[in-house]
Amino acid sequence: MRIGIDSGGTFTDFAVLQDDGRLESFKLRSNPASPASVILAGIARALPPKTKADVVHGSTVATNALLERKGAKTAFVTTRGFEDLIAIGRQNRPELYNLTPLPARPLVPRELCFGVEERILFDGSVDTPLNPGNLRQRLTGVESVAICLLHSCQNDVHERALLEALEGVGYVCASCDISPEFREFERASTTLINAYVGPLMDRYLGQLEAACPHPVAIMQSNGGLLTAAEARKQAVRTILSGPAGGIVGAVEIARLAGFKKALTFDMGGTSTDVALAGEQPRLTTEARIETFPVRVPMLDIHTVGAGGGSIATVDAGGSLRVGPQSAGAVPGPACYGIGEAATVTDAHVVLGRIGADQLVGGEMHLDADRATRAVAAVGEQLGLGVIETAAAIVRVANSNMERAIRAVSVERGEDPREFPLVAFGGGGGLHACELAEELGVRTVIVPKLAGALSALGMLLADRTRDYSIGALGASDYEARFRRLEKQARKDVRAAELTRFADVRYAGQSYELTVRFGGDFHAEHQRVYGYSDSQRATEIVTLRVRAIVRVERPSLRQPRQPQISSAVPGKRKVWLAGRWRNLPAAPREAFDAKAGKGPLLVTDYGSTTLVPPGWSMTRDATGSLILRRS
């Protein structure tokens, strides 16, 4: 048996592949104070006694530690004279017209940035030998150390020597292991993030492995799997662990529905994650988490603070805001019975789109009166009634999510009208058709296990490791590739190895990743709309990807727990400015051939709103295919 687990901000989702091929899913309420306890409870629920299973886990531990600035006390070690590297960063201005921008707050204070005597030149030659001096004594009291020396991507001898000299100081990592690539600031930032979140991941996974009787693999940000031991050393590769599983699952769902590309839209309890994908999810090595560049291969995901738990507030100017603050799992939306703040979920409850006994198959009762009071309190500040306020909250949330989708499509030269929108997460189906109408998208796909698709995607992911080495100015490409491949075969046995290179036109500042020996000019034409086959090119970085394929589960009609409102009925729903009595039932209760909106599909872990003017069919996997007429 195999179990995929997505530990989210509000719910922890489980996708269980039985040994007879059956696929099932369920949800448990997350516990931010002890996420491992929820995971162990879910495994116990999923497995009969003494049953063996492989566990694949998507963790938010590293993500939350970075975003909330709750990582380890970390020191930064670099070449003497470059101690301000992290603070200086780049000269890029994210707010072009802000004359007094606030500087980004670095993860490490200046007093914990240390320089050592050494110097390696751009060609890898040693100019000044390494002299650590009393560095070990100066690091007293820190939990972790990030080492990033100048030009170590060309020659890592001094970083290796420092790793040996600082053994036992704490959690120590170096850029030659984390991101041995050109551009010292991005390399340093990536290594520093790894050191900052590494001790937390190390402790968390150590405790989970000790308590879990089954082998645990971790979903990484590039859409593949790491062993828990690898994730403890390479924690930065798990920054987008949970969302990556959703992208993998969404691409497979779109493929089975007959589409070769997709816009993926994952609306969870805390955030919304969107991505653009072809036949394979798109990767980037230029990702940013907040203001921090992360120079490891990651799925190209754009995240905004707009989820079911996003809190509605009124700002100083009297305007309605939704998010990025979230009610999370505790206290949660007001309708959960503890919190006081109005959220997007509360707005849907007020508008009749989520029933009081619908959530998690009726296992969790919602307090509709409490939701109404919370929304009404926001409405009083706006001078609006409770229904108008709830509808406004949904519209503002839609606007936030629409901007995110445009950021990964229109702003990158892609027409969203050419893609189906794959909507999942607990709230994706409630917003998908309204977003599609604004974007001009004509097809929406809602998977059967929409509420647990990220967990399902983890069962579809292969074991993957990425390796890289700097190559700017080099010519010994074959020797460098063999060095990477030797390490890959040592780490990941029986892996398929594929060579890539980061290539650019001579004089350009940024590069494109293509298969080694592939047509860079054609890729440049596709991405930027122009190319010049007569212009000289240069290789900046060499890459090797190692993949061990896993047996993928069949997605033909997966099962999920039956919900309490299995009998088709009617629900009073506010839609298009008035109350309507809509058919409301699980997708199996509707005709498999066709249905027409308006109607509500009330699944175990999600709800889908089909507005007027949309038709609905089901494919062989049970996915809803919604089309705008």
Q: Does the domain spanning 2-67+202-241 belong to CATH 3.40.50.150?
A: no
Give residue 191's pLDDT.
97
Give residue 268's pLDDT.
85
Give residue 71's pLDDT.
93
519-564: per-residue pLDDT in tens? Answer: 999 999 988 889 999 999 999 999 999 999 988 887 765 555 544 4
570-599: per-residue pLDDT in tens? Answer: 899 999 899 999 988 888 888 776 788 899
Residue 412 in 3-state DSSP? helix
Q: How many CB atoms lie within 10 A of CB 134?
A: 7
Give residue 100's pLDDT.
87
Could you give the angle at the alpha carbon of 107 between the alpha carbons of 102 and 108, nearest 5°? Answer: 110
Give residue 361's pLDDT.
61
- 172 bridge partner residues: 145
Give residue 560's pLDDT.
56
124-135: per-residue pLDDT in tens? Answer: 999 999 999 999
Does residue 35 have a cis bond before it (omega within 30 degrees)? Answer: no
The token pair that represents 303 in the structure block: 């995240």
Write the CA distances from 213 to 50, 51, 260, 609, integer angstroms.
10, 10, 39, 41
- DSSP structural state of residue 562: P
Give residue 303's pLDDT.
84
Give residue 558's pLDDT.
59
Using DSSP bridges, classify how beta strands 11-17 and 126-131 pair: parallel, antiparallel or unpaired.
unpaired
Give residue 565's pLDDT.
43
Percent of the chain at pLDDT > 70 equals 97
Q: Is the dihedral of CA 7, 288, 276, 575 positive or negative?
A: positive
Give residue 164's pLDDT.
95
Give residue 586's pLDDT.
85
User: Are the beta carbons of 459 and 422 closer than 8 angstroms?
Assistant: no
CA distance 470 to 605: 46
Could you give the angle at the alpha carbon of 199 between the alpha carbons of 166 and 164, nearest 5°? Answer: 15
Tell me which of 323-327, 336-340, 609-613 is least confident. Answer: 323-327
Question: Backbone phi, then psi, for 152, in 5-degree steps?
Answer: -70, -20
Torsion of CA 148, 153, 154, 159, to 10 degrees: 40
10-40: per-residue pLDDT in tens? Answer: 789 999 988 877 888 898 888 878 888 999 9
Write the CA distances from 427 to 305, 430, 573, 595, integer angstroms.
13, 5, 16, 21
With CA atoms as reference, report the closest residue to 419 among 439, 396, 393, 449.
Answer: 439
Give residue 67's pLDDT.
78
In this model, does residue 97 exceed pLDDT 60? yes
Average pLDDT over residues 244-250: 93
User: Are the beta carbons of 604 and 580 closer than 8 angstroms?
Assistant: no
Matching fold, domains 2-67+202-241 and 247-307+412-455? yes
The token pair that represents 312 in the structure block: 């509605």
Give residue 306's pLDDT.
85
DSSP assignment of 468-528 equals EEE-TT---HHHHHHHHHHHHHHHSTT-EEEEEEEEEETT-S--EEEETTS-HHHHHHHHH
Give residue 355's pLDDT.
84
With CA atoms as reference, report the closest residue to 13 among 37, 42, 36, 40.
Answer: 42
Query: Which residue in this structure is represented by tokens 């491992």?
Result: 36
Residue 93, classified by CB atoms within 10 Å of its CB into exposed (0-12), middle (13-18) or buried (19+), is exposed
In this model, does residue 86 exceed pLDDT 90? yes
Give residue 564's pLDDT.
44
Q: How far is CA 328 from the centre of its chain?
A: 17
Instruction: List, in sequence order, every beta strand (DSSP E) within 213-297.
Output: 216-219, 225-227, 262-267, 272-277, 283-284, 287-289, 292-294
With CA atoms as reference, report the closest residue to 160 among 184, 176, 178, 172.
Answer: 176
Q: Does the domain spanning 463-548 belong to CATH 2.130.10?
A: no
- Report the amino acid identity of residue 589: A
Domain map (residue ranges) of the chain: 2-67+202-241, 74-196, 247-307+412-455, 310-396, 463-548, 569-628
Average pLDDT over residues 363-375: 90
Domain 247-307+412-455, architecture per CATH: 2-Layer Sandwich (3.30)
Instruction: List, in sequence order, every beta strand (DSSP E) within 8-100.
Output: 11-17, 23-29, 54-58, 74-79
With CA atoms as reference, report the closest residue to 22 among 523, 619, 557, 604.
Answer: 557
Mean pLDDT of the chain: 90
- 98 bridge partner residues: none
Instruction: List, in sequence order, every beta strand (DSSP E) within 103-143.
Output: 113-120, 126-131
149-206: per-residue pLDDT in tens? Answer: 999 999 999 999 999 999 999 999 999 999 999 899 999 999 999 999 999 999 999 9
- The kind and range of the H/E element at 123 are none
203-217: per-residue pLDDT in tens? Answer: 999 999 999 989 999
User: Are the beta carbons of 346 and 335 closer than 8 angstroms?
Assistant: yes
Q: Is the dihedral of CA 608, 12, 218, 244 positive or negative?
A: positive
291-308: per-residue pLDDT in tens? Answer: 889 999 999 998 888 888
Percent of the chain at pLDDT > 90 equals 66
Query: Which residue in this structure is represented by tokens 């694949």?
Result: 56
Question: Backbone phi, then psi, for 145, in 5-degree steps?
Answer: -135, 130
Query: Which residue in this structure is represented by tokens 């031991």?
Result: 229
Average pLDDT over residues 380-404: 95
Does residue 324 have a cis bond before it (omega within 30 degrees)? Answer: yes
Does residue 331 have a cis bond before it (omega within 30 degrees)? Answer: yes
**Torsion-angle region of 267 (φ positive above 0: left; ψ -120 to 50: alpha; else: beta):** beta
CA distance 339 to 370: 9
Average pLDDT over residues 499-504: 96
In this model, does residue 503 exceed pLDDT 70? yes
User: Are the beta carbons of 368 and 351 closer than 8 angstroms?
Assistant: no
Give residue 566's pLDDT.
45
- 542 bridge partner residues: 469, 501
Average pLDDT over residues 500-514: 93
The token pair that represents 176 in the structure block: 């030659």
